[in-house]
Amino acid sequence: MIWFALLPLLALTGHTLVNAALLRRPPRNATVTERVAVLVPLRDEADRVTPCLEALLGQRGVPGLEIVVLDDGSADGTADVVRRVAGERVRLLTGAPLPAGWLGKPYACAQLAEAARDSDVLVFVDADVVLAADAVAAGVALLRSARVTLLSPYPRITGAGRLVQPLLQWSWLTFLPLRLMERSPRPSLCAAGGQWLVADRAGYRRAGGHAAVRGDVLEDIALARAVKRSGGRVALADGSRLATCHMYASWRELADGYGKSLWASFGSPAGAAAVVLLLLLLYAAPPVTAAAALTTASVDLAWWSVCAYGIGVLGRVISAAATGGRTWPDPLAQPVSIVVFAALVARSFALRRRGLLSWRGRPV
């Protein structure tokens, strides 16, 4: 009956395949006539904002496009880089001092949204995101055709972290029913990635905007939940053909980035422990079990364990193919990816307990 243990893996990988087939993709070469504001929050981004700005300045298909950039207390000359690259073609704001009860990014985004009060659609873009020339128009077109309030087109992730970063797309393709998420009013059933968000302005305001998530470390997911609570709809999309995001330049940056937020991803330490244990049992244990079985000549156990490992790898291959990731050989390291992820979760909770979490020079 060892084969019975394969059923959860088969079901999850089948779900990944269904989601990959149903995953929304923004249309290429779209044209929209609405007033659109692209909003870019910046804090100490002098070394990587140039490609982002150049891509935004080259957008087509959006005649009513406005680009608004906010310098949130940068100490590295970010504002000077913006002026040199974009000049008068963008509106550069100086961020106000951070009020009590707010985290930095929600407050920056709230100020940007307030400055773009005449726009019909708000497009939030991080400084490490580079958009294709038709990306903004494509995102707005899909927002309208899908009839949603908030659209999260997930970009192709580059940079450090090949072992861990692909787990982001894999996790929601594997565990989140995408079309049910769009229809369901439950705030808990949603996901979003703050690197690139497209929002209907009226719906954004009904949800309370970023003021409603002022103290949330995962402000993107919190905003999606606020949208649902206000009666709006949320959708995920594959943005890998339209955007890249160089999220982390080194493993140290990745560990710090994950450290500040992973503790908030599971609801409680007990919830995190349960999720991590399940992932380890399903995806990390099979190759260990296979190796142990071979040393004891348990051929049947070894065979079924290898099958379990292969099914887990297949899920990663499907996810990568659907979202612009590496389909080979990275998925072979799925067990290692899960172990590293578990270690990052444990580190995040440890830093949280010790009060050592910070990001961009601010405590979290």
Question: For 170-211, how does the pLDDT look when each residue is reduced to its tens digit (9 = 90+)?
Answer: 999 999 999 999 999 999 999 999 999 999 999 999 999 999
257 falls within a domain: no
Q: 221 and 187 in one domain?
A: yes
Q: 296 and 338 in one domain?
A: yes
Q: 169 and 48 in one domain?
A: yes
User: How many CB atoms neighbour CB 242 within 10 A?
Assistant: 25
Q: 165 and 121 in one domain?
A: yes
- Partner residues linked to 67 by β-bridges: 38
204 falls within a domain: yes
pTM score of the predicted model: 0.95
Q: 63 and 8 in one domain?
A: no
Query: In angstroms, rounded to a whole number, what is the distance separating the alpha carbons of residues 69 and 64?
Result: 17
271 falls within a domain: yes
Tally of domains in the chain: 2
Span 77-102, mean pLDDT? 97
| CA neighbor of 302 nearest in space, from 285, 289, 311 | 289
Question: What confidence tens digit (pLDDT) does each residue in 133-175 have?
Answer: 999 999 999 999 999 999 999 999 998 889 999 999 999 999 9
Across all residues in the chain, what is the average pLDDT? 95
Q: Which pLDDT score, from 0 to 100, does residue 1 have?
A: 46
Q: Which pLDDT score, from 0 to 100, does residue 144 have?
A: 98
Q: 138 and 244 in one domain?
A: yes
Residue where a domain terminates, one of 199, 215, 249: 249
256 falls within a domain: no
Span 243-254, mean pLDDT? 93
- Domain span at residue 332? 2-18+263-363
CATH code, domain with 50: 3.90.550.10
* Residue 229, pLDDT above cutoff 90: yes
Query: In angstroms, rounded to a whole number, what is the distance separating the alpha carbons of residues 231 and 22?
Result: 23
Sheet holding 234-238, edge to edge: 91-94, 65-71, 36-42, 121-125, 196-200, 150-154, 234-238
Q: 311 and 288 in one domain?
A: yes
Q: Are 234 and 194 in contact (CB under 8 A)?
A: no
152 falls within a domain: yes
Residue where a domain terminates, one of 249, 284, 299: 249
* Residue 2, pLDDT above cutoff 60: no
* Residue 273, pLDDT above cutoff 90: yes
Q: 70 and 35 in one domain?
A: yes
Q: 235 and 169 in one domain?
A: yes
Strand (E) or helix (H) holding 294: helix 285-295
Q: Which pLDDT score, from 0 to 100, does residue 160 have?
A: 85
Q: Which pLDDT score, from 0 to 100, does residue 363 have?
A: 81
Question: What confidence tens digit (pLDDT) does each residue in 93-141 have?
Answer: 999 999 999 999 999 999 999 999 999 999 999 999 999 999 999 999 9
Question: What confidence tens digit (pLDDT) does each residue in 310-328 have?
Answer: 999 999 999 999 999 999 9
Least confident of 235-239, 271-275, 290-294: 290-294
290 falls within a domain: yes
Q: 296 and 226 in one domain?
A: no
Q: 187 and 133 in one domain?
A: yes
Q: Which pLDDT score, from 0 to 100, does residue 3 have?
A: 63
Residue where a domain terminates, one of 249, 282, 310: 249
| CA neighbor of 95 nearest in space, from 66, 73, 123 | 73
Q: 239 and 297 in one domain?
A: no
The pLDDT confidence band at residue 297, using thresholds 50, 70 and 90, is confident
* Residue 228, pLDDT above cutoff 50: yes
255 falls within a domain: no
54 falls within a domain: yes
The pLDDT confidence band at residue 362, using thresholds 50, 70 and 90, is confident
Q: Which amino acid is at 257?
A: G
